[in-house]
Structure 1
Amino acid sequence: MTDFDYDLFVIGAGSGGVRASRIAASHGARVAVAEEFRIGGTCVIRGCVPKKLLVYASHFAHELHDASKYGWTLGDVSFDWNKLRDFVASDVDRLERAYTATLDNNKVEHFHERAAVAGPNTVRLASGREISAKFILIAVGAWPVMPEIDGAEHCITSNEVFHLPALPKRVVIQGAGYIALEFAGIFNALGSDVTVVNRSDKILRGYDHDLTDRLLPIMQARGIRFAFNRPIRRVEKSADGSLIVHAGEGDPIGADVVMVATGRRPKTDGLGLDTASVALGSGGEIPVDEYNRTSCSSIYAVGDVTDRVQLTPVAIREGHAFADTVFGSMPRTTAYDHIPSAVFSQPPLAAVGLTEAQAREVHGHVKVYTSDFRPMKNMFSEVMERGYYKLVVDPQTDKVLGVHMIGPDAPEILQAVAIAVKAGLTKAQFDETVALHPSMAEELVLMR
């Protein structure tokens, strides 16, 4: 491989690209990576990490309100968006430095400019320099989809939401997926007037219906308005800078910020993949085999750009598996079953395995166990929100096929439960486990 400038050139320094670079270098490969924006990728720079910090901050709105019932006397309470925004930005800076240090410590060279494929073994940097590599890895992720509507230039996506100059008084969010609902909860808790508009009457497609059926009225009770079957047709900007949203056939909706959260598309435009005959799917995604290889034998792809599962931990595993396979003589694939997921809505929900509907399609008859309870945390609150846990079980083998939860700390609890589901444990083994009392998690082993 010494005939090439590098053994591996990675395009994209997000979670998958950084992991692949580090592991390949640990196997002795000469590695370089190009990143056109900031090292760390979507999750670290403008995705799940800064968003989770906003979620934590928004929780204080409810905690402070309930504090008096716990005996606390508080003085004047106010919220400073600029302070929160700047703190989140500083933590993003810290994480970018940490990711950069990871590359440096593993002797991975990094180029801070856009790179594109210029052939099966060649990349071209924005500066015009061409670099050769035995293998090329595409790890550029995905990009928010902006619908083609009049006034789209007045809208923002999840990329820009972390940099708002002020907390908007009125927010309109288009979409009903996890990004839309998480930011609806954040802005609502921080004091904004929030309206969610969606082209259908469903939220969180892919999650168990019992969870979504419970989440919707809870969000509505918290003051979030939902306008279903009303996709945005156009957005107008008034003379005072405010926005008027025309959605569906209903009355116009006033807003200070319009956020579009209608999905993410693999970021393959202008990547030069045709120069190496790399095939693309209908959505711009890069199809790969089980070892992450594209239709070009020297080019691989991992993460959201493949549109298999758009989750950071999956991209990390794919990047690791690629590096072990190609440079470590340890062929590895990534398993896509039993991947836990969560929505950091308010309250959050989390799930692993099959939904009840999916289980019935696969197994026919299934057993369903549920627990409907009021979390102890809510006893001191005016909020009457209840928690709900659900186990979907195969009656033939007694294996737990899926676990679905909504309530405080559901994602934290689910991670441990996902181990049990992945291991194929049975309902009887859940029942044999002694409950940890008092906790919400104990409900998982008390369902009969």
Structure 2
Amino acid sequence: MDPPTGPSMGPYDYDLLVIGGGSGGLAVAQEAAGLRRKVLILDLVAPSPRGTKRELGGSSYNMDNIRKFLQQASLLGTAIQDSQKYGWRLKEHVCHGWSELVEAVQEQVKTRSSELKRELKTCGVFYLNAHGELVGPHKVEVTDVYGRKRCLTAESIVIATGDRPQYLGIPGDKEYCLTSEDLLSLPQPPGRTLVVGGSAEGLECAGFLFGLGLPVTVMLQPELLPGFDQKMAQMIENHMTVGGVDFLYHCSLTKVELTESCTKDAVSGDSATPQQVSRGSLRVTFISKEGQTKQEDFDTVLLAVGRKAFTSDIGLERVGVLCSQDSGGILVNEKDQTSVERIYAIGSVQHGRPSTTGLSVHAGTLLARRLFREDSLLCDYTSVPTVVLTPLEYAACGLSEEKANLTFGEASVEVYHNNYWPLEWTLPARNKYSCYIKVICHIPDNERVVGLHVMGPNAGDILQGFVTAMKCGLTKQQLDATVGIHPGSAQWFTTLTQTRRMTEAMTMRGNC
């Protein structure tokens, strides 16, 4: 192994060495290289327990792209149905081809990974497909794919190894269950699927699979969309339930195993296709909320029970980098610095901070400027916009209604809200009350907007501009003074008059 050599700006082999190819790590490397620093990225990622290969860009970047592709595949199925109300005549029965989707998405991910490597080379970042392990505050032991080792030094080191899906630690979970990153490794449709976990990742997968016409059951463990506004989470759940997704509440999965019939077919050399062999192949055992042990058969079990920072096997303990015992995430200060000087962490490997691809890129860029341009601007980890790519998309920025009430007190919080009906939904007569917006304001601070929530088509794109306004101190009065664009859904943010207090008062009067 011969790592890139050449002069650096100081007494080290590199000015910056990044362990991990996550989106934040790529951003800090590219920005540092643009500032004429010598930079090396080490990225050797093991496949998932199911053997799925991980590409350069990290779990968040690649999975974000895949999430969008899968959501679009689901939405196109609905659009085909709607198209007949717009005068389109379908000449033949329309069906979905799983293998075509899988091939197209996998090819796109590989292409983007190759593009990232070319971009790194163009901007002067050295890249090695190798494992990095800290052996000193400025020293990393590099092991290539052939097992050859060499030590390299750097003035500053950034950890950007990202996170990995968690498993439940029950019999059969790693042997027979998938995670979201394994979904597109299936050569055939997953069939009847049990999604374990009510995280954003779980609901997105459930919505996508159901949108393709597959039967889906979601087993919530332990709650729905933890960390998100719970009233919005309940609306998403209602929408999916009405659409036909089944939910299991207060259940605990205890075991996943192959059924005897499936094992017999596989051993006897049955000539059925792989899809037929997998039908009903997994038997799940779970405990209901009443304490009863139950069993049910599924074709696929997909785990979406959270993610954990990937901090093992990179030498953090050896050099004294402190991590959370609960999450495994690296403890950092407001400058993204770890407990060891000149060692930093970026992205989902951090403990206790929100994690999105956009945030990681932003934080990585600012870190490089602080290190090598003497800037002082810190990344703002509050009011981070995020989107859940369920079939009915949900985007949010700022505080949830529950967090606002807890922070300021209910008397100091005003919540403006309303349902809306996208114009394009009127011809196919889709549900008039599915889409919803909510603006949360802090009354004593001139009704400053502290939370924005929207559920509907293209919710993430709708919210983006309002996020900028929030960072500038947006108030409800300014929002009301904004001219809405008609026809369009974003204009509903500028016309809200109904408050939560008004709605609750009308409900109480209706019950009298």
Q: TM-score range by the shorter chain?
A: over 0.9
Please say if residues 44 and 96 of structure 1, whose CA atoms lie closer than 8 Å, have aligned partners that are also in contact: no
State the partner residue of 1:446. 495
C-alpha distance in structure 1 between counterparts of 2:182 and 2:467, whole Å: 33
Structure 2 residue 386 is matched with structure 1 residue 386: no
Q: Percent of pairs identical after alignment?
A: 31
Q: Residue 294 of structure 1 is aligned with which of 329, 338, 346? A: 338
State the partner residue of 1:151. 172
State the partner residue of 2:51. none
Please say if residues 120 and 275 of structure 1, whose CA atoms lie closer than 8 Å, have aligned partners that are also in contact: no
State the partner residue of 1:59. 75
C-alpha distance in structure 2 between counterparts of 1:290 and 1:363, whole Å: 24
Q: How far 1:247 sits from its partner (Å)?
A: 2.2
State the partner residue of 1:415. 464
CA deviations over 1:421-443 (Å, ceiling 9, x no partner) = 22111111111112222222111
Higher mean displacement: 25-34 or 240-249: 240-249
Q: How far 1:376 sits from its partner (Å)?
A: 2.4
C-alpha distance in structure 2 between counterparts of 1:338 and 1:422, whole Å: 8
State the partner residue of 1:255. 298
C-alpha distance in structure 1 between counterparts of 2:299 and 2:155, whole Å: 50
State the partner residue of 2:201. 179
C-alpha distance in structure 1 between counterparts of 2:284 and 2:450, whole Å: 43
Structure 2 residue 93 is matched with structure 1 residue 76: yes
Q: Residue 244 of structure 1 is aligned with which of 283, 286, 293? A: 283
RMSD: 1.5
Q: How far 1:208 sits from its partner (Å)?
A: 2.1
State the partner residue of 1:436. 485
Please say if residues 169 and 191 of structure 1, whose CA atoms lie closer than 8 Å, have aligned partners that are also in contact: no
Please say if residues 197 and 247 of structure 1, whose CA atoms lie closer than 8 Å, have aligned partners that are also in contact: no
Q: Residue 360 of structure 2 is aligned with which of 285, 305, 315? A: 315
Please say if residues 168 and 257 of structure 1, whose CA atoms lie closer than 8 Å, have aligned partners that are also in contact: yes
C-alpha distance in structure 2 between counterparts of 1:131 and 1:15, whole Å: 23
Higher mean displacement: 14-23 or 231-240: 231-240
Q: What letter corresponds to residue 67 of structure 1 in structure 2?
A: S
C-alpha distance in structure 2 between counterparts of 1:299 and 1:208, whole Å: 35
Q: How far 1:382 sits from its partner (Å)?
A: 5.5
> Aligned residues, how many?
446
State the partner residue of 1:118. 135
Please say if residues 195 and 224 of structure 1, whose CA atoms lie closer than 8 Å, have aligned partners that are also in contact: yes
Higher mean displacement: 254-263 or 1-10: 1-10
CA deviations over 1:302-359 (Å, ceiling 9, x no partner) = 1111132221111112211221111122133100122111111121111111222222
Where structure 1 has 5 or more consecutive residues not aligned to the other structure, the ranges are none
Q: How far 1:12 sits from its partner (Å)?
A: 0.7
State the partner residue of 1:169. 191
Q: What letter corresponds to residue 201 of structure 2 in structure 1?
A: I
TM-score, normalised with respect to structure 2: 0.84
Structure 2 residue 97 is matched with structure 1 residue 49: no
Please say if residues 375 and 386 of structure 1, whose CA atoms lie closer than 8 Å, have aligned partners that are also in contact: no
Q: How does 1:212-251 map to 2 (within 5 A)?
A: 212-238=233-259, 239-240=261-262, 241=278, 242-249=281-288, 251=294
State the partner residue of 1:264. 307
State the partner residue of 2:266. none
Q: How far 1:21 sits from its partner (Å)?
A: 0.6
- Secondary structure, in 3 states, of the residue corresponding to 2:321? coil
- Secondary structure, in 3 states, of the residue corresponding to 1:148? coil
Please say if residues 354 and 384 of structure 2, whose CA atoms lie closer than 8 Å, have aligned partners that are also in contact: no
- Secondary structure, in 3 states, of the residue corresponding to 2:424? helix
Q: What letter corresponds to residue 374 of structure 2 in structure 1?
A: S
C-alpha distance in structure 2 between counterparts of 1:116 and 1:110, whole Å: 16
State the partner residue of 1:99. 116
Q: What letter corresponds to residue 69 of structure 1 in structure 2?
A: K
State the partner residue of 1:190. 212
Asked which structure has the greater CA Rg, the reply is 2
CA deviations over 1:378-404 (Å, ceiling 9, x no partner) = 223354252111111122212112111
CA deviations over 1:53-106 (Å, ceiling 9, x no partner) = 111011111111122111111122111111111111111122112211121012
